[in-house]
Chains A and B, each alone.
Chain A
Amino acid sequence: MLRSLSDVQADFAAALRDPAIPPPAGVVGPDGGPAPRRFAVYRNNVLVALGNALAGAFPAVGRIVGEEFFRAMARNYVLETPPTSPVLLDYGVTFPDFIAGFEPAASLPYLPDVARLERAWREAYHAADAKPLGAADLAGIPPEDLPDAVFSLHPSLRIVPSRFPIITIWRMNVSDVPPSPVDFAVGEDALIVRPDAEVEVRVVPPGGVAFVDALAAGETLGSAAVIGEASDSRFDLSGNIAGLISAGAFVDFRRQPEPAPW
């Protein structure tokens, strides 16, 4: 009986992921017999290619753990999480979560957050372009409109909070700066944005994560400021706004219509 194409493909995919499964029927050599060694070459190519894609997307993680460890970790991830799309740009979205649950990496508790930063960097790099508002644009908003102003944030903007100094660790591992001792007690929340051609990574000031999250969720400036203050007593509204302007985080604003009084 002829098997359906989807069944044949499912068998093929299963055999790719598990060497214990014999090569699917129809994978034959010139003699017409089964060709397990040829299939093994193909299986290895798939694993290596996807591992290379991860190594390219997570260079700091790769440098921190070393190539051998990274290869082994990537191989585990690839077998567990094959791509769901032919677009490799999106491959590895769940790699940071995988690392968080990967027992051999448990001695590096900051590693998942560094991976999240690298993932956010990549998303920012490929996000849509948008022209940021300048300081003068914000200065032009009538003061009475400010409490109800709703901002559109840059499409490339990402926030990665962390209780570890992930920006310091990341920078040290993607540049030629010689590594130096890091104070792991100091957390760094990262803001990643690509206002123009270059992706920028900045430290978010205290309360800034809640503030930016609120703005991104469409809260008005007034209520986002309240949320920021509530989240951290050190919250500095003016400093946060200045930081976001200089990062190119704002791209548009509108005045939220006053809700009807009834």
Chain B
Amino acid sequence: MSTARNLTTAVLAGAVTAAVASFAVPASAAEMEKCYGVSLKGQNDCAAGAHSCAGTATIDYDGQSFKLVPAGTCTDMETPFGPGSLEPIQRPT
């Protein structure tokens, strides 16, 4: 009888499943989308002409600045000015 039998197949399978599941989150830009109007100031990824680039947004929830978020989650994000947008928008107004 080997020591392997001290751990059940179920325990090992559970551990491997949990380990594998931790990789199921989007890991690359290919699975991300640009989401406008959700980033806090200084935490944006880039912008549509309002300022130069990453980290330079000067206002919270700026509709001209985007943040990369997991694909499909942008328009579900709630902000004090409404949900995120896949296109640049005018806000806060």
Which A residues fall within an 8 A CB radius of B? 134-136, 138-139, 141, 143-144, 146-148, 220-223, 225-227, 237-239, 241-242, 245-246, 259
- A120 smallest CB distance to B (angstroms): 24
Which segment of B1-9, B53-61, B68-76, B83-91 sits at the interface?
A: B1-9
The residue in chain B whose Cβ has the minimal distance to the Cβ of A258 is B2
Interface residue? B20 (CB, 8 A) = yes
Q: How far is the CB of B4 from chain A (nearest CB, A)?
A: 3
B12 / chain A contacts, CB cutoff of 8 Å: 143, 146-147, 221-222, 225, 237
Size of B's binding interface in residues, CB under 8 A: 22
Q: Is the interface of A mostly helix, strand, loop or mixed?
A: helix
How far does the alpha carbon of A246 sit from the alpha carbon of B22 in the complex, in Å? 10
Contact A238 B7 (CB under 8 A): no
Residue contact B22 to A139, C-beta cutoff 8 Å? no
**B4 to A220, Cβ gap below 8 A?**
yes
- From residue B28, how far is it (CB to closest CB) to chain A in Å? 13
Instruction: Flag if A223 contacts B4 (CB, 8 Å).
Output: yes
| B→A interface (CB under 8 Å) | 2-20, 22-24
Establish whether residues A245 and B15, one from each chain, have CB atoms under 8 Å apart when the complex forms: no
Report whether B9 and A146 are in contact in the complex, using a CB–CB cutoff of 8 Å.
yes
Listed from nearest, the 10 A-B pairs whose CB atoms lie closest are A222-B4, A143-B13, A241-B19, A242-B19, A135-B23, A238-B15, A238-B18, A237-B15, A146-B12, A139-B20
Note all chain A residues with C-beta closer than 8 A to B16: 138-139, 141, 143, 146, 238, 241
* A245:B19 contact, CB within 8 angstroms: yes
Q: Are A226 and B3 in contact (CB under 8 A)?
A: yes
